[in-house]
Amino acid sequence: MLNTVAEYLYDQTSLYSLCWILLLSYGLYLLAKLFRFVTRYSYIRWRLPGPKLDHPIFGMKVARIDRKSLAKLENTIKDYPRFGRMIYGPIFSIMVTGPEVAQQIFNQVESKNKTFVYMMTPWLGNGLVFSEGTIWKRNRKLLTPTFYYQSLINFVKIMNKSSDRMIEVINRDSNGKDPIEFVPLIHNMTLEVILNCICSKGSDLQLNIDTNSREMTYVEGLEKIRQGMEERFSSFFSIFDIIFYRKNVGKEFARGAKMTKQYIVSLIQEREENPREESNKSDYDMLDLLTRSRDEEGNGLTQKEIIDELNTFVFAGHDTTGAASSFVFYHLAKYPELQEKCREEVLSVMGGRDEIEWKDIAKFTYLTCFIKETMRLYPPVMFISKMLNKPFTIDGHKIPANVSLDISIGLIHRNASHWPDPDKFDPSRFKDENIEKHHPYAFIPFSAGSRNCIGQNFAMSEIKIITARLLKKFQVSLQDGYDIDITVKVVLSPSDNLPLLFSPL
């Protein structure tokens, strides 16, 4: 009987009527989505605490990140030392500024903000930074041995050789009286290090940067990506793909993503064509470890996964480290008395040796404090964004699902409730007797929780080695009248090439 009724209704329903029903249904669906959005927006805007808006309709101004805008944001949010709602036109989020709240989120919220995922995946794919769930857990477990103790010992040798070449370049290009541009110098060095760690290239990129065309392709591609991400971070409308990829900067970003990926593929193809002889696990490079790792079921990483992870390693292994090192050397030059204190420690640990050994790294206690204080003020990654897939409560305030939680590492590191006189550069904050006074999430330059940076020990070791090696050879100083400014091109960096004077000791 039901079939008979259905056939009758079908016969009586014209195609014209059916189209109207479908259109009406879709319209009701859109109205429901709009209602949910307006309800959520109204609640976030008027019921949650947050700074005064610059405009009643457009909310807060979107500005390029520099020292001035960062100081303004810091001042704007100072009355909200735990969290505050932020409104940018129709876009809203919760800015997390307190380490207690950050700890709560890191431990309970897993989902990434899909907005940033789709902006970055054309470049980095579905590597550790963006993968989630079982895929992330499996791959994180497979990749962790890449940064085990024995691997790091081998990488220290590579870092020393690249430091030798960097010293050679400085001696060649510097007369001790005129500044040299440090940012491209340190980025060439860190790129050389990560390439040699990944695939045992034996690269001398620093000495042959103008003639090494394959590496230059990667460098040029990455610069296109940096310019593209700077545009997306600082322009409201560039968040949307349909607008961004119509701009020249968006087209160049897509081209840069293709160039960097092609370079990574060429490294893998080169290894396949010229496989390394079987050797001890202790001699494996990163590419060996990636291709030979297996899970409990005997399955390894797919070729696409290897490409995505290597792409992430090459970028994170040199760009973030290069940016952090730039700020370290800026502070060494700015505070000569602290530079001398670092140098005295380096000399006491190394004695007459030039090469740094693995056991030396743990002895650089004051230098470590100096580097950490630099990363407190200038963390390479300024914020981490997560998306709520279910309601979440902060300090009694219920945050609805589908709202972005932006953990502001930069503002947490300058939170006056946890860092007295937060803008003052003071390495003693990180002495052993003072560390216990800090909240465990008040200093998180490498993120925190289960998804913290897998390569943080690699990065810290590299920064310590290059800093110690150069301090042993040179006095570093600033050009008269120079003052640094900052920008965000994927990571926080000096806005210029940081002119520094290197005077041989």
Binding residues: 453
Q: Residues forming the annotated binding site for heme?
A: 453
How far lies 188's CA from each of 121, 216, 484, in Å? 25, 10, 21
- Judge whether 485 and 175 are in contact, CB under 8 Å: no
Give the H/E segment covering residue 77: helix 67-77
How far lies 246's CA from each of 221, 241, 295, in Å? 18, 8, 42
CA-wise closest residue to 96 among 375, 412, 400, 391? 412
CA-wise closest residue to 181 among 319, 326, 324? 326
Q: Among all chains, which residue has been given the structure tokens 């691997």?
A: 151
DSSP three-state, residue 350: helix
Rounded distance between C-alpha atoms, residue 494 and residue 501, angstroms: 16
Q: Among all chains, which residue has been given the structure tokens 């730039």?
A: 326
How far lies 460's CA from each of 70, 379, 435, in Å? 25, 13, 18
Q: Half-sphere exposure of 133 toward its Cβ, with a 13 Å CA cutoff?
A: 2
Beta strands 404-408 and 91-96: pairing type?
A: parallel
Rounded distance between C-alpha atoms, residue 124 and residue 132, angstroms: 14
List of E strands, 165-240: 180-181
- What per-residue string of b and e applies to 5-23 under the rule 16 or more CB within 10 Å gives b? eeeeeeeeeeeeeeeeeee
